[in-house]
Amino acid sequence: MKQLEIIIGSQMGGTEYVAEHLSQLLADQGIETQLHEQPDLQHIDRDQPWLICTSTHGAGDYPDNLLTFIEQLDANEQLNQVHFAVIGVGDSSYDTFNFAAKNIVSLLQTKGATLLLPQLEIDVLGEELPEDTAEQWLPNLLQAWKSA
C-alpha cells in the first residue's frame, strides 16, 4: 500500500476530524495520504484506493462540499479501477441515518468500483469520540486493502 486518497464530506467539520485522525495514523505507519476537503475527481488518483469519510446533511443529503464530486461521479461511465471504503458519521435519531454514506457506496458500485469492506457507520449519539471508533476499524481496512 503506497497511498490512500481520503475524500471528506463534512458539513459541520466533525467528519473532517475523523479523516485527519486516520491520515495521521496512516502516516505513522509510513502510508502516504492525500486529503481532499473540496474533492474534485480530476485531482483524485483513481489507481490508488479511496477512503470516503462523509456525514449526512439535511434529509439524507450529501454535505455541500461533496456535491460537485458526486456530480462528477454521476457523469462518469466507468470507475472499474477504483477500490474504496466508506465511513459514515451520523446521528441515529434521524431516519436518514448515514444515507450519504450508503448512497455513495451504491453510486460507486453502479459505476463498477469495488467496495473493499462493508462501510463503517459511526453513530455520534453512541460514541465518545468518532475518531476512536474509526481508529479501531482501521486495521480492517488495511487487511482488506492487502487482500484486494
Is 67 domain-assigned?
yes
Q: Per residue in 97-114, pLDDT tens? A: 999 999 999 999 999 999
The CATH number covering residue 15 comes to: 3.40.50.360
Residue 24 covered by a domain: yes
Whether residue 100 lies inside any domain: the answer is yes
Give the domain range for residue 74. 3-142
Distance, CA of 82 to CA of 4 (rounded, Å)? 11
Q: How many domains does the chain have?
A: 1
In-domain check, residue 71: yes
User: For residue 147, is it within any domain?
Assistant: no
C-alpha cell at 34: 492525500
Residue 148 lies in a domain: no
Residue 133 falls inside a structural domain: yes
| Rounded Cα gap, residues 110 and 93, in angstroms | 29
- Condensed to tens digits (0 to 9), the pLDDT of residues 40-90 reads 999 999 999 999 999 998 889 999 999 999 999 999 889 999 999 999 999
Q: Please report whether residue 77 resides in a domain.
A: yes
pLDDT score at 1: 57
Phi, psi of 75 (to 5 degrees): -75, -15
CA pair distance 46, 31, nearest whole angstrom? 17
Give the Å distances, CA to CA, from 15 to 9, 35, 89, 90, 122: 7, 12, 6, 9, 10
